[in-house]
């Protein structure tokens, strides 16, 4: 497949399967009332996180969105601590204090998800500035949606990154909707990537349902950033299978079932499995093994999270700062 070896394809597949299983289980737990708070699920968009983050190292830093579980998993976050955080338990990544939209792990370069639309963009620019200052060869990558490209923070971040020639990659996960609003109703552009030209940076549009295509596009942008050539924008056209929030959401129809089914027919995981098997690069049994191992990992992690204690109210003000 496009010159990728078996190890690279299995890496992409494993990242996507881990996201799919984690999110499916999280959605199930939320619908059953076992998980508190809100969940913005990443099911359907797995190819973007998998393809993009396959191009980075642990030293490279990323910022995420309110739909951030997929980025955390693809960057290497563990199921146990992620589920514990969703359950609000002390063994979670934020010790049960952050929940779904604030998972971070600095050891793998995950600077955190963010409940504020577009807020991760300037943080990533700051991380890229720090990387260049240190001179350690690392870069930053920031994820955002089509709706966030209308936010002032996007334009400020893009302009500063371009002016300072910072090593940052802007990845727009264009799933066609800003919450419940179709792209055609909130902008006059077909491609968010066109906005990059206004700041003097190159851009590329790729198929966000094809992990290999995303990997290739992001590899070009990452290589450019590491070479000191400044920022780039990659727009991945993708789709979320579930509602904006949760699985069933507010139950207000704003998409047709025909539209959802058409995108599901192009499922990224099924596409990679079918193409790799047809090309004889990866045996179907290896893909099956990944699914089995990942499902077992989820079962273990959920049990771990349920057994983890709730935070002690006496620690409520810990890690809260003021000046």
pLDDT digits (tens, 9 = 90+) for 154-167: 999 999 999 999 99
What is the distance, to the nearest Å, from the Cα of residue 114 to the centroid of all Cα atoms in its chain? 12
pLDDT, the chain, mean: 94
Of the candidates 121, 117, 119, the residue with the CA atom closest to the CA atom of residue 168: 121
245: left (phi over 0), alpha (psi -120 to 50) or beta: beta
Range in 13-22, 151-160, 314-323 the model is least confident about: 314-323
Residue 51 phi, psi dihedral angles, 5° rounding = -65, -40
The Cα 122–Cα 116 span in angstroms is: 12
Percentage, residues of the chain above pLDDT 90? 80
Q: What does the pLDDT read at residue 36?
A: 84
The mean per-residue pLDDT over the stretch 181-201 comes to 94
pLDDT-based confidence at residue 51 (cuts at 50, 70, 90): very high
Helix, strand or coil, per DSSP, at residue 74: helix
Cα dihedral sign for 202, 47, 57, 140? positive
pLDDT-based confidence at residue 252 (cuts at 50, 70, 90): confident
Range in 45-54, 85-94, 236-245, 314-323 the model is least confident about: 314-323
pLDDT-based confidence at residue 250 (cuts at 50, 70, 90): low
CB contact set of 135 (below 8 Å; sequence gap of 6+):
none
The Cα 61–Cα 68 span in angstroms is: 14
| pTM of this structure | 0.94
């Amino acid at each position: 497949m496009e010159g990728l070896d078996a190890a690279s394809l299995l890496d992409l597949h494993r990242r996507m399967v881990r996201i799919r299983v984690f999110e499916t289980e999280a959605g199930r737990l939320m619908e059953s009332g076992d998980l508190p708070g809100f969940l913005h699920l990443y099911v359907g968009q797995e190819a973007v996180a998998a393809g993009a983050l396959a191009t980075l190292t642990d030293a490279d830093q990323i910022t995420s969105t309110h739909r951030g579980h997929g980025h955390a998993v693809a960057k290497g976050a563990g199921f146990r601590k992620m589920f514990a955080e969703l359950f609000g338990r002390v063994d979670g990544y934020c010790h049960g204090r952050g929940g779904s939209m604030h998972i971070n792990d600095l050891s793998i370069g995950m600077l955190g998800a963010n409940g504020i639309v577009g807020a991760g963009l300037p943080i990533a620019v700051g991380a890229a500035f720090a990387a260049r200052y240190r001179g350690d060869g690392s870069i930053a990558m920031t994820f955002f949606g089509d709706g966030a490209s209308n936010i002032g923070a996007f334009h400020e971040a893009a302009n500063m990154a371009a002016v300072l020639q910072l090593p940052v990659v802007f990845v727009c996960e264009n799933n066609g909707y800003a919450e419940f609003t179709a792209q055609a109703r909130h902008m006059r552009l077909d491609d968010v990537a066109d906005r990059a030209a206004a700041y003097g940076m190159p851009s590329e549009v790729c198929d966000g349902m094809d992990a290999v295509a995303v990997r290739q596009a992001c590899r070009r942008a990452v290589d450019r950033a590491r070479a000191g050539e400044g920022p780039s924008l990659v727009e991945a056209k993708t789709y979320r299978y579930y509602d904006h929030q949760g699985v069933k959401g507010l139950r207000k129809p704003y998409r047709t079932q025909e539209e959802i089914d058409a995108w599901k027919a192009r499922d990224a995981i099924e596409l990679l499995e079918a193409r790799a098997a047809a090309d004889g690069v990866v045996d179907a049994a290896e893909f099956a093994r990944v699914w089995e191992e990942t499902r077992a990992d989820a079962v273990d992690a959920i049990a771990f999270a349920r057994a983890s204690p709730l935070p002690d109210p006496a620690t409520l003000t810990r890690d809260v700062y003021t000046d």
